[in-house]
Amino acid sequence: MKNREKSPVVPYLDKRLIFRLRIYTLVMIFMLLVISGEVLSGTFSVAWALGGILIGLGVGTLATRMYRLSWDEDTSHVISRIDWIGGIILICYLTFVFTRTYYLSYWVQGAPLMGIIFSITAGTMLGRVLGTRRGINKVLKTWHILIKGTPT
């Protein structure tokens, strides 16, 4: 079998950061599969699914700031830490996660509600992956480890 070439960024990432990104990606893929099945079965429309994904994408991009990415000189890795701004964003994000069903149930009930919740979750995970990737590239470019135009 052919070995896949790894991204040139991976050797510079903390193992916990890689693990977190993998979990986000797996959750996103699972949610997208469920959403696709629900849309194909006609439970809810593509418009609702795309709307939920776009809302989640915005929330995920904002939630990316929970973890402050920085370069650790000792380990030569990009690491993530929660600072006080990240703590406030974490509280807001958790409030959103636990109350979205309550507030959305005023407008949508039943299976479409589940579809919208899954769409928002998938979009949130996508936003977090893309935002974290952008932050990693920014840190590596700042330290001149990643050259502009290098694929990630």
- According to the model, what pLDDT value does residue 98 have? 92
CA-based torsion, 62, 116, 37, 27: positive or negative: positive
Domain boundaries, the chain: 15-69+83-142
The region that residue 132 occupies, defined by phi over 0 for left and psi between -120 and 50 for alpha, beta otherwise, is: alpha
Task: Give residue-wise pLDDT tens across range 71-86.
Answer: 998 988 999 999 899 9
pLDDT in tens, 52-69: 999 999 999 999 989 999
Instruction: Give mean pLDDT, residues 118-137.
Output: 94
pLDDT of 1 reads: 44
Give pTM, 2 decimals.
Answer: 0.85
| Residue closest to 96 by CA, chosen among 129, 67, 62, 133 | 62
**Cα 22 off chain centre by:** 10
pLDDT tens digits along 2-49 = 555 577 788 889 999 999 999 999 999 999 999 999 999 988 899 999
Tokens of 115: 């579809």
- Per-residue confidence (pLDDT) for residue 108, from 0 to 100: 87
pLDDT of 10? 86
CB distance 99 to 117 below 8 Å:
no
